[in-house]
Amino acid sequence: MNKVILVGRLTRDPEVRYSQGREALAIGRYTIAVDRKYKREGEPTADFIPCVIFGKAAEFAEKYFRQAMRISISGRIQTGSYTNRDGHKVYTTEVIVEEQEFAESKRESQQGQQAPPKYDGDGFMNIPEGIDEELPFN
């Protein structure tokens, strides 16, 4: 059985291209960073998994998925090879996505992209410039 389930963050926005022919098929590609359970000093802390998705699901990913968003996917691992321009054989491994979904709420996604608040040495948060008129007190 060839089945994989992954949860990770998109390393960039999904990219969709269309196949040539009578009926163009959407082919989407994205990479997700999946944290490793055990982290050893000097080794990477995440694996970067290339993913391919087809049809309406690819168009959905392009429209709604964004860089750094946490998603969950399931599918199968597919290996392949090709000869590059220099004549060297290149081996590939990617996940063919069968199902994909959001793994966090929209609010969590937006909060993860905001910069953390800055604090003074006394433990109080700095108030950004121009916000004085929005404060409920003087």
5-15: pLDDT as tens digits:
999 999 999 99
**3-class state of residue 130 by DSSP:** coil
User: What does the pLDDT read at residue 119?
Assistant: 52
In one letter, which amino acid is 75? G
Looking from the CA of 81 toward its CB, the CA atoms found within 13 Å total: 6
Strands 46-54 and 89-102: parallel
| DSSP code string of 1-53 | ---EEEEEEESS--EEEE--SSS--EEEEEEEEEE-SS--TTS-SEEEEEEEE
Cβ-based neighbours of 38, under 8 Å, separated by 6 or more:
none
- What percent of the chain is predicted at pLDDT more than 70? 77
User: What does the pLDDT read at residue 64?
Assistant: 95
- Going from the C-alpha of 108 to that of each of 30, 31, 124, 127, 132, the distances in angstroms are 21, 20, 24, 23, 27
Domain locations along the chain: 4-134
Mean pLDDT of 22-43: 90
Looking from the CA of 92 toward its CB, the CA atoms found within 13 Å total: 12
User: What does the pLDDT read at residue 41?
Assistant: 83
On average, the pLDDT of the chain sits at 85
Domain 4-134 falls in which CATH fold? OB fold (Dihydrolipoamide Acetyltransferase, E2P) (2.40.50)
Convert the pLDDT of each residue in 81-104 to its tens digit. 999 999 999 999 999 999 999 998
